Structure 1
Amino acid sequence: MPGGPGRASAAGPRRSRPGPPPDRLLSRHHGGQLIDVQLHEPVGLDELAQDLRAGGRFTVRDHPTGGDCTYQVLAEVLALALAAVLPTGAASAALNPAAVLTGLYQGGAPPAGAR
């Protein structure tokens, strides 16, 4: 990579995450569909959850813009995992990725309405 990771290049500044490279690079398409860039196959949130449990890492890029949307997808995976272990009814519409991240950001308290 010209200029090295995290340095500005002729194409513009690049931001990189610290640490080792991800195990998988995914592309998020219209409607939220995730595609493994190397395998050219769809990837489900449940598959990503299994990969994370096994210690895998991933990075997600928005297909139209190239922007990093890894944290949004990670929030969706987290919400899916929480819905699987919470009592029925607790995993309502109030428990969405944005609410989960907001609760975590506010000191780990569950979002209002998610109890």
Structure 2
Amino acid sequence: ISEKSGFGRSLFERMSLLGHRKHLLNVQYRMHPDISLFPNNKFYKKMILDGENVKQRSYEKRYLEGRMFGTFSFISVTGGKEEKDARGHSWKNVMEASVVCDIVERLFR
């Protein structure tokens, strides 16, 4: 209903279409630089800077033993199947979600 009425876009998109100026917030303070590197290069043309707090050595936090988990990890999950949710709007993968839950449980042990 909202999309048919012309409301299927964000407030940011509507304001921009009306001619309001856009301002890029170009410093990020939450992600480790190793993690911010990909979105910065892929989507922001290397215009996003890392805040000083995330560049400090003390920001590196290790929760699990071993070398498998660094700043970020890619984990291959076999047996999972992507499927649409009940409303048909979002994708889900129950097997991948289960693996994430297992990792989070280990973090809190």
Shorter-chain TM-score tier: under 0.3
Larger of the two Rg values belongs to structure: 2
The structure with the greater share of residues assigned to strand is 1
- Give the alignment's TM-score, normalised by structure 1: 0.23
